[in-house]
């Protein structure tokens, strides 16, 4: 098949892991007889430096002309002055909102090869396979806010409409139907009015999915259950901020933040694919970045936007095989294990495809 992929490397380790992922996708294209065209655009801090805008119109045009977007990460100390009129992270928020990418899928699973050195006891990590579905274009990250300045007060607003909750709840219930048929909805309905609407709406949508078992957890309790009984969860649906926080917490289950992929989708096949981690300025430019979250994001691109399931599974199996063979980047190397660099890990994955 022919496909055009918009490539937005961004800042910090973004360009390092995106470069490895386009090599991987080019390898897949050659092996399976596809033609992928990569068109690069700027976003985040580098886009502010180049154009003054974290999401320049040219980048939006590149994405509009593509079948899917592959993104690295944005942000870094150079642009982190809180009083600056524009932040790199705004570029990413605007991109998600521009394309109406309301459902953010973040799968988290444990790797048997890594359990031995995990911070949690091995028996807690058995059979952990969770899909987070995070609402992505509303909630407190998009509500009315008072811009930062020098004043002594500012605010952000958490607001949800019934329609916004319905569309993300439908994605989550359908995902659960294709998995182990369990959905946990996370909210803060005991305190927040917007979260009472969230819970009421999820209960109503559940009527169309009676084969799915529904559980509700308050977000504070959910942070604890995620670490004490992670194997009991199947799909977890949450609003924008709670989903953001819980899925980062869940990275501990996988071994490192560098292992988690994400797909941001709307109702058609178009999507934005990016690792969950940020630009990791502390390790940028040193060949230390774990490319697995980026690679698994590329696999999700093949699966959801291009419907190339066999190719997606080939990437996932090659990563599993590289880990089984003992290859580790520094973030997942245990005591006594010699870490490999980003490009050495990539070579190990490519050779196992």
- Determine contact, residues 350/23, Cβ cutoff 8 Å: yes
| Cα separations in angstroms, 9 against 2, 73, 245 | 22, 7, 23
Q: Which is nearer to ligand NAD, 218 or 284 (CB)?
A: 284
Q: How many residues does the chain have?
A: 353
Q: Which is nearer to ligand NAD, 29 or 92 (CB)?
A: 92
Q: Which is nearer to ligand NAD, 167 or 290 (CB)?
A: 290
Active site residue 182: no
List residues near ligand NAD by CB under 6 A: 13, 73-76, 80, 89, 92, 256-258, 274, 277-283, 289-290, 293, 331
- Determine contact, residues 217/272, Cβ cutoff 8 Å: no
Catalytic entry in 160, 244, 304, 331: 244
Active site residue 141: yes
Q: Which is nearer to ligand NAD, 97 or 177 (CB)?
A: 97
Task: Round to whole Å and give the CA distance between 224 and 326.
Answer: 31
120 in helix, strand or coil? coil
Catalytic entry in 141, 209, 273, 304: 141
Task: Round to whole Å and give the CA distance between 111 and 350.
Answer: 19
Task: Round to whole Å and give the CA distance between 353 and 347.
Answer: 10
Q: Which is nearer to ligand NAD, 239 or 258 (CB)?
A: 258
Active site residue 244: yes
Task: Round to whole Å and give the CA distance between 85 and 77.
Answer: 15
Q: How many Å is the Cα radius of gyration of the chain?
A: 20
Task: Round to whole Å and give the CA distance between 329 and 117.
Answer: 13
Helix, strand and coil content of the chain, in percent to the nearest 5, comes to 45, 20, 35
> For 336, left (φ over 0), alpha (ψ -120 to 50), or beta?
left
Task: Round to whole Å and give the CA distance between 62 and 42.
Answer: 10
Active site residue 220: yes
Q: Which is nearer to ligand NAD, 92 or 214 (CB)?
A: 92
Active site residue 50: no
First to last CA, the chain: 19
Strands ordered across the beta sheet of 271-275:
35-40, 2-10, 68-73, 271-275, 261-265, 103-109, 129-135, 235-238, 182-187, 213-218
Catalytic entry in 11, 160, 187, 188: 188
Q: How far is the CB of 204 from ligand NAD (least distance, A)?
A: 32
Q: Quick one: which of 137, 142, 143 has its CA closest to 157?
A: 143
Q: Which is nearer to ligand NAD, 266 or 277 (CB)?
A: 277
Show which residues are catalytic: 141, 188, 220, 244, 248
């Amino acid at each position: 098949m022919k496909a055009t992929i918009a490539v937005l490397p961004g800042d910090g380790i973004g360009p390092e892991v995106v470069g490895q992922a386009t090599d991987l996708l080019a390898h897949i294209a050659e092996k399976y007889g596809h033609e992928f065209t990569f068109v690069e655009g700027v976003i985040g801090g580098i886009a502010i430096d180049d154009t003054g805008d974290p999401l320049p119109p040219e980048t939006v045009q590149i994405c509009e002309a593509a079948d899917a977007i592959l993104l690295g990460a944005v942000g870094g100390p150079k642009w982190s002055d809180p009083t600056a009129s524009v932040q790199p992270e705004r570029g990413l928020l605007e991109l998600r909102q521009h394309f109406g990418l309301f459902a953010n899928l973040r799968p988290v699973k444990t790797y048997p090869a890594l359990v031995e050195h995990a911070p949690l006891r091995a028996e807690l990590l058995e059979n952990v396979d969770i899909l987070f579905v995070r609402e992505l274009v509303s909630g407190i990250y998009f509500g009315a806010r008072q811009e930062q300045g020098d004043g002594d007060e500012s605010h952000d607003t958490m607001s949800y409409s019934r329609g916004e909750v319905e569309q993300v709840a439908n994605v989550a219930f359908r995902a659960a139907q294709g998995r182990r048929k369990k959905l946990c909805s996370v909210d803060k309905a005991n305190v927040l009015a917007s979260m009472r609407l969230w819970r009421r709406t999820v209960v109503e949508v559940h009527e169309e999915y009676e084969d799915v078992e529904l559980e509700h957890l308050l977000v504070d309790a959910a942070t604890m259950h995620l670490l004490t009984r992670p194997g009991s969860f199947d799909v977890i649906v949450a609003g924008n901020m709670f989903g953001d926080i819980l899925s980062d917490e869940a990275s501990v289950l996988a071994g490192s933040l560098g292992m988690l992929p994400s797909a941001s989708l709307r109702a058609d096949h178009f999507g934005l694919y990016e690792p969950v981690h940020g630009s990791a300025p502390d390790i940028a430019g040193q060949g230390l970045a774990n490319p697995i979250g980026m690679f698994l994001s590329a696999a999700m691109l093949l699966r959801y936007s291009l419907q190339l399931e066999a190719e997606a599974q080939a990437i996932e199996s090659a990563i599993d095989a590289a880990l089984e063979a003992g290859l580790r980047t520094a973030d997942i190397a245990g005591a006594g294990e010699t870490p490999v660099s980003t490009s050495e890990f990539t070579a190990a994955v490519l050779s196992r495809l």
